[in-house]
């Protein structure tokens, strides 16, 4: 089996990658504008952001295809900025796979081994193992064009890990696949990451993909890292409006700070006092924005037992049944729009447009950004 | 540095054996017998030149028009009749890949005094004595249209191929009859191809030499033929002057229309 | 209703006939048994092919044309491929100038090129020599190589070269193992075009082949001045077969390359 691949990489840890104030300027715009990241050995880190946020450029600089305008990239403590890509020994999976169309699957996967002077018999053995690892045994003699998108993707993966790199870069590797296949491959890549123990840096614009796969996510916007953290931290504790809006759906409510209680801020919002978590200590009277997740809001009358602290009266302006949940658009007293998502159940009464209601949510789900 | 090193051998080769020779020859138009513009100054009063130049333009114009009229339907059929596309393509490419010399010869065979065309008309009883077609401007126009037709068809077919078929379905879905869809959707959207084809054919026609020399006879000659005659007489100053005018005309026309969509591309790909 | 389909079909059919008919007539005439040009031929035979193959006056120029074209293929393909690789990587301004120069023989009128070359080659002592023809034809053939190779280069996904580098191939290794195999069809197509360009070339040959380097088209031209002998039909048919076969090969190569690239993208 793929025992040997696993063994070698299992014992040797993945590489650590340190980006320090990394910058890349194209003409007059800064594609990457001061990115610093400390990626730990064996970590699965995702660079997540909209197109043009600088995530791919950052990846290309780590791979060596772009030269940073300023800053440093260190792999295992050694700067690689001056090192050409072919000496960096980094595995890379490209968007659209970039399989060599003139080579068979076997020769594609054997390509990095051939560059490293691995003898033919050894090469055949390693290629066979890699094909088993990505569950494509027996496909070695085919050409890339004879494979489906998902199969090409697996071959690209096998080719990128067959030479046992300690770091694997992936640039939107699942972008061209349909949803079902994408979800299968996501699981497979997680498994591969666990088995190989090497460091993965993964670029995507798909937040769901980032949330399901990553150990940590670096959300990028305008060439900067907007926030780095574990998926649940980013979702529960977005530290700015961009992150709150980009990852999942959020309600944004204008508010004014009225009081501080320990690490909780009391703010006036739509005519009521609402409590929110806030690491910073804004002065009274500061205008702020509160965010909440639509699925963390509840209609107060469906709750029994200990009710969440934050409450607000609203009017239902739109009600949409969406299968697994109902989605309501609500209007607060001062006119702010709020989205509420309620798990659907035949046992729960559905609200009508125009109905008055009270909503409630917990302080822990209220973030001040 | 590498890109320059890779391109350098060819560039040097072409400068030595193509650019410098042509430039040196053209220089004769201003350096013979000493620095002068007299050869250009004489052109407006030069009846032979004016007549030849006009004739060349006129021939190119006729050939371009004929190619457009004959080429558009073929391009349309090539794109819209997929079942016949291969047959049509072969029938276009067969003459396209045959040398200009052989094609001109073919027209000599067809249009000669005892050529196929005359024999057929006589056999059909439509004429008594053979018509004189070979060695007339008409022969030049027919043969040149034949030779340049593919240069018209291919760019137009390219433009037609890029029209989104759903536009046509949309048009007919909105109640437009086929002829109106053609006039209001297909024709306007194929204009880049038409512009490219027209320009390509016209410019290539301006420089034609072999065909008019073979089938056109000695009376209505083209600029290229006049240049060749003067070279034979070793009148380099005059030949160079005419060459400069011909080259400048071709470049000016291309330069003026190069920015039109599709045109630049057609010139780069005019290859074959 | 029927008219709306039959009429256009007839028109297109007639135009296509106009395109193909002259060529077909030449081919038919070449198999005529008559001693003069007449159509349809009274009977068929290989008389004119015999005449061609038994005449040193015809065979000598044929061999000359073939080996000149062969030499042009080597020179134009080598120079053109290297240049295409270089031009693709030049900065924009330099690229426009270089491409303009290299492709200009496609639009500069043939007579201007021909007499320019004649004017200079007479001084270089290259008139009446196959070397002069090879050099001149290389200039005319090179644009076809450059366009063809450039098109295949442009069709290569830049990520393929990046992938090779990321997998440990040096820039040199990347060129020989990835880039070159991928542009090979383009190079071959360019080589075929170069061959045909030289083999069919007449205008330059009219001026510089003199009496020492008479090519096949030049020989045909000279012959046509005096007679429209069916031998020329036989020669024409042979060149038609040769060029059509080569062009068809080029066409297939190009299609195959396109398929490979589009599948990948």
pLDDT tens per residue across all 369 residues of chain A: 344 444 444 445 789 999 999 999 988 888 999 999 999 999 999 999 999 899 999 999 999 999 999 999 999 999 999 999 999 999 999 988 999 999 999 999 999 999 999 999 999 999 999 999 898 999 999 999 999 989 999 999 999 999 999 999 999 998 878 888 888 889 889 998 998 899 999 999 999 899 999 999 999 999 999 999 999 999 998 988 999 999 989 999 999 999 888 788 899 988 899 999 877 778 888 898 999 999 999 898 887 767 678 999 999 999 998 888 899 999 998 888 999 999 888 888 888 899 999 999 998 899 888
Contact yes or no for C144 and B272 at CB 8 A = yes
Calpha distance A329→A337 (Å, rounded): 7
> What is the side-by-side strand order in the sheet with A310-321?
A298-299, A356-361, A310-321, A325-332, A337-343
Residue-averaged pLDDT of chain C: 90
Among A154-163, B262-271, C142-151, the least confident range: B262-271
**Cross-chain CB nearest to C182 (options A64, A85, A102):** A102
Contact yes or no for C142 and B112 at CB 8 A = no
Contact yes or no for A144 and C164 at CB 8 A = no
What single DSSP character describes residue A15?
P
Res B17: pLDDT? 96
Residues 6+ away with beta carbon under 8 Å from C63: none
Q: Which fold does the domain A249-368 belong to in CATH? A: OB fold (Dihydrolipoamide Acetyltransferase, E2P) (2.40.50)
Res A263: pLDDT? 80
Say whether residue A100 is in contact with chain C using an 8 A CB cutoff: yes
More confident site: B170 or B101: B101
3-state secondary structure A91-122: EEECCCCCCCCCCCHHHHHHHHHHHCCCCHHH
Dihedral of CA atoms B68, B70, B74, B75 in degrees, nearest 10, equals 0
Res B262: pLDDT? 64
| DSSP codes joined into one string, B75-123 | HHHHHH-TTTHHHHHHHHHHHHTS-HHHHHHHHHHHHSTTSHHHHHHHH
Nearest CA in chain A to C180: A102
pLDDT bracket for residue B67 (50, 70, 90)? very high
Res A7: pLDDT? 40
Res C15: pLDDT? 95
Res B131: pLDDT? 87
More confident site: A29 or C226: A29
For CATH 2.40.50.100, list the domain ranges present in chain A.
249-368
| Cβ–Cβ under 8 Å, residues B159 and B262 | yes
Res B153: pLDDT? 95
For CATH 3.40.50.300, list the domain ranges present in chain A.
3-239
Say whether residue C170 is in contact with chain A using an 8 A CB cutoff: yes
Nearest CA in chain A to C159: A98
Res C265: pLDDT? 38
Most C CBs within 10 Å: which of A60, A65, A86, as the mutation test of the C interface? Answer: A86
Calpha distance A55→A361 (Å, rounded): 35
Interface pTM (ipTM) of the complex?
0.91
Chains in contact with B, where contact means 3 or more Cβ–Cβ distances below 8 Å, are C
Beta bridge mates, A328: A319, A340
The CATH superfamily assigned to C56-264 is: MetI-like (1.10.3720.10)
Count CA atoms within 13 Å of residue C42 on its CB side.
6
This prediction's pTM: 0.83
| Closest by Cα among B182, B195, B126, B121 to B155 | B195
Res B53: pLDDT? 95
| DSSP codes joined into one string, A137-154 | TT-TTS-GGGS-HHHHHH
Map out the domains of chain B as residue ranges.
37-269
More confident site: C118 or C249: C118
Res B272: pLDDT? 36
Tell me how far CA of residue C156 lies from CA of A102, A149, C86, C151, C265, in angstroms: 12, 19, 15, 9, 9
What single DSSP character describes residue A16?
P
State the DSSP H helix or E strand holding residue A259, giving kind and residue range, or none if neither.
strand A251-261
Residues 109-138 of C with CB under 8 A from A: none
Res B263: pLDDT? 66
Contact yes or no for C120 and B109 at CB 8 A = no
What is the token pair recorded at A125?
A: 């053995």
Calpha distance C97→A22 (Å, rounded): 37
Residues 6+ away with beta carbon under 8 Å from A271: A332, A333, A334
Mean pLDDT of B126-142: 91
What is the token pair recorded at B49?
A: 């030149």
pLDDT in tens, C5-28: 777 889 999 999 999 999 999 999
Residues 6+ away with beta carbon under 8 Å from B254: B199, B203, B267, C107
Contact yes or no for A90 and C166 at CB 8 A = yes
pLDDT in tens, B149-181: 999 999 999 999 988 888 888 888 888 888 888
| Closest by Cα among C183, C229, C200 to C49 | C229
Beta bridge mates, A274: A267
Pick left, alpha or beta for residue C55 (phi over 0 → left; psi -120 to 50 → alpha; otherwise beta).
Answer: beta
Residue-averaged pLDDT of chain B: 90
Res A8: pLDDT? 41
Backbone φ, ψ for residue C53 (5° rounding): -75, -15
- C212 has a pLDDT exceeding 80: yes
Residues 6+ away with beta carbon under 8 Å from C226: none
Contact yes or no for B231 and C207 at CB 8 A = yes
Mean pLDDT of B11-22: 97
| Cβ–Cβ under 8 Å, residues C173 and A116 | no
What is the token pair recorded at A237?
A: 């504790």
Res A12: pLDDT? 55
Res C263: pLDDT? 45
Judging contacts by C-beta atoms under 8 Å, the chain A residues touching residue C182 are: 101-102
CATH number assigned to the domain with residue range A3-239, chosen from the 4 options 3.40.50.11540, 3.30.465.10, 3.40.50.300, 3.40.50.920: 3.40.50.300
| Cβ–Cβ under 8 Å, residues A19 and A37 | yes
For chain B, where are the alpha helices, taking DSSP H only? Answer: 2-14, 20-31, 38-42, 47-80, 85-96, 100-111, 116-123, 137-161, 165-173, 178-181, 187-189, 191-206, 210-215, 223-232, 236-257, 263-269
The CATH superfamily assigned to B37-269 is: MetI-like (1.10.3720.10)
More confident site: C228 or A53: A53
The DSSP bridge pattern shows strands A199-204 and A44-48 to be parallel
Residues 6+ away with beta carbon under 8 Å from C188: C250, C253
| Closest by Cα among A68, A36, A51, A67 to A225 | A36
Judging contacts by C-beta atoms under 8 Å, the chain B residues touching residue C112 are: 22, 207, 227, 243, 246-247
Res A4: pLDDT? 45
Backbone φ, ψ for residue C205 (5° rounding): -60, -35
Res C4: pLDDT? 64
Pick left, alpha or beta for residue A52 (phi over 0 → left; psi -120 to 50 → alpha; otherwise beta).
Answer: left
């Amino acid at each position: 089996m793929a025992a040997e691949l696993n063994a070698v990489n299992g014992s040797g840890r993945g590489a650590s990658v340190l980006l320090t104030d990394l910058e890349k300027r194209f003409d007059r715009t800064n594609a990457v504008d001061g990115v610093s990241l400390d990626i730990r050995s064996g970590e699965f880190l995702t660079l997540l952001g909209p197109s043009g946020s600088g995530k791919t450029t950052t990846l290309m600089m780590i791979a060596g295809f772009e030269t940073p305008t300023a800053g440093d990239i260190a792999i295992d403590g050694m700067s690689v900025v001056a090192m050409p890509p072919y000496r960096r020994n980094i595995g890379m999976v490209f968007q659209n796979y970039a399989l060599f169309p003139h080579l068979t699957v076997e020769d594609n996967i054997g390509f990095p081994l051939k560059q490293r002077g691995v003898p033919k018999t050894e090469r055949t053995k390693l290629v066979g193992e890699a094909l088993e690892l990505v569950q494509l045994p027996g496909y070695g003699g085919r050409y890339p064009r004879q494979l489906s998108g998902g199969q090409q993707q697996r071959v690209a993966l096998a080719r990128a890990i067959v030479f046992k790199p300690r770091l694997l870069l992936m640039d939107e590797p699942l972008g061209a696949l349909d949803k079902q296949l994408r979800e299968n491959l996501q699981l497979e890549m997680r498994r591969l990451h666990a088995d190989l123990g090497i460091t993965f840096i993964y670029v995507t614009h798909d937040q769901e993909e980032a949330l399901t796969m990553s150990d940590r996510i670096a959300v990028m916007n305008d060439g900067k890292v907007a926030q780095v953290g574990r998926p649940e931290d980013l979702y529960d504790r977005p530290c700015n409006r961009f992150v709150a809006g980009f990852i999942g759906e959020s309600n944004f409510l204008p508010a004014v700070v009225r009081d501080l209680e320990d690490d909780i801020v009391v703010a006036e919002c739509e005519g009521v006092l609402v409590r929110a978590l806030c690491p910073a200590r804004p002065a009274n009277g500061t205008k702020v924005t509160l965010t909440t997740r639509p699925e963390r809001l509840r209609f107060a009358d469906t709750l029994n037992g200990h009710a969440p602290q934050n409450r607000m009266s609203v009017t239902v302006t739109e009600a949409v049944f969406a299968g697994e949940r109902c989605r309501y658009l609500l209007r607060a007293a001062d006119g702010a729009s709020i989205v509420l998502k309620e798990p659907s159940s035949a046992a729960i009464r559905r609200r009508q447009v125009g109905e008055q209601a009270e909503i409630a949510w917990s302080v822990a789900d209220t973030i001040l950004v | 540095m590498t890109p320059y090193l890779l391109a350098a051998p060819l560039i040097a080769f072409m400068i030595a054996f193509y650019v410098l020779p042509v430039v040196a020859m053209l220089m004769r138009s201003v350096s013979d017998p000493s620095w002068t513009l007299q050869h250009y100054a004489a052109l407006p009063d030069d009846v032979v030149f004016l007549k030849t130049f006009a004739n060349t333009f006129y021939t190119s114009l006729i050939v371009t028009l004929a190619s457009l009229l004959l080429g558009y339907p073929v391009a349309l059929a090539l794109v819209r009749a997929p079942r016949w596309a291969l047959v049509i393509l072969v029938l276009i490419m067969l003459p396209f890949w045959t040398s200009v010399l052989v094609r001109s010869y073919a027209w000599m065979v067809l249009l000669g005094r005892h050529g196929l065309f005359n024999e057929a008309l006589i056999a059909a009883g439509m004429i008594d004595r053979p018509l004189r077609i070979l060695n007339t401007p008409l022969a030049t126009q027919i043969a040149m249209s034949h030779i340049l037709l593919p240069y018209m068809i291919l760019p137009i077919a390219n433009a037609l191929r890029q029209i989104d078929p759903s536009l046509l379905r949309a048009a007919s879905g909105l109640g437009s009859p086929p002829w109106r869809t053609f006039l209001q959707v297909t024709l306007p959207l194929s204009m880049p191809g038409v512009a490219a084809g027209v320009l390509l054919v016209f410019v290539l026609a301006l420089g034609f030499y072999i065909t008019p020399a073979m089938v056109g006879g000695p009376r209505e000659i083209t600029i290229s033929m006049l240049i060749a005659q003067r070279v034979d007489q070793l009148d380099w100053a005059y030949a160079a002057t005419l060459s400069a005018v011909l080259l400048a005309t071709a470049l000016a026309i291309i330069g003026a229309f190069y920015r039109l969509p599709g045109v630049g591309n057609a010139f780069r790909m005019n290859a074959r | 209703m029927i008219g709306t389909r039959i009429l256009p079909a007839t028109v297109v059919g007639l135009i296509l006939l106009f395109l193909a008919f002259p060529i077909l007539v030449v081919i038919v005439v070449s198999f005529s048994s008559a001693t003069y040009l007449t159509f349809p031929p009274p009977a068929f035979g290989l008389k004119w092919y015999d005449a061609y193959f038994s005449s040193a006056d015809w065979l000598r120029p044929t061999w000359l044309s073939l080996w000149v074209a062969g030499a042009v293929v080597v020179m134009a393909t080598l120079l053109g491929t290297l240049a295409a690789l270089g031009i693709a990587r030049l900065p924009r301004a330099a690229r426009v100038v270089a491409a303009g120069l290299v492709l200009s023989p496609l639009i500069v009128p043939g007579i201007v090129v021909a007499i320019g070359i004649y004017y200079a080659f007479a001084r270089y002592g290259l008139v009446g020599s196959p070397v002069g023809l090879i050099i001149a034809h290389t200039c005319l053939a090179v644009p076809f190589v450059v366009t063809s190779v450039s098109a295949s280069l442009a069709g290569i996904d830049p990520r393929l070269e990046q992938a090779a580098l990321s997998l440990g191939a040096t820039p040199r290794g990347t060129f020989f193992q990835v880039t070159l195999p991928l542009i090979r069809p383009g190079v071959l197509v360019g080589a075929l075009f170069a061959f045909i360009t030289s083999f069919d070339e007449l205008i330059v040959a009219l001026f510089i082949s003199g009496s020492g380097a008479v090519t096949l088209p030049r020989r045909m031209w000279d012959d046509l001045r005096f007679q429209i002998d069916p031998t020329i039909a036989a020669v024409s048919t042979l060149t038609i077969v040769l060029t059509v076969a080569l062009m068809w090969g080029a066409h297939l190569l190009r299609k195959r390359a396109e398929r490979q690239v589009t599948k990948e993208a």
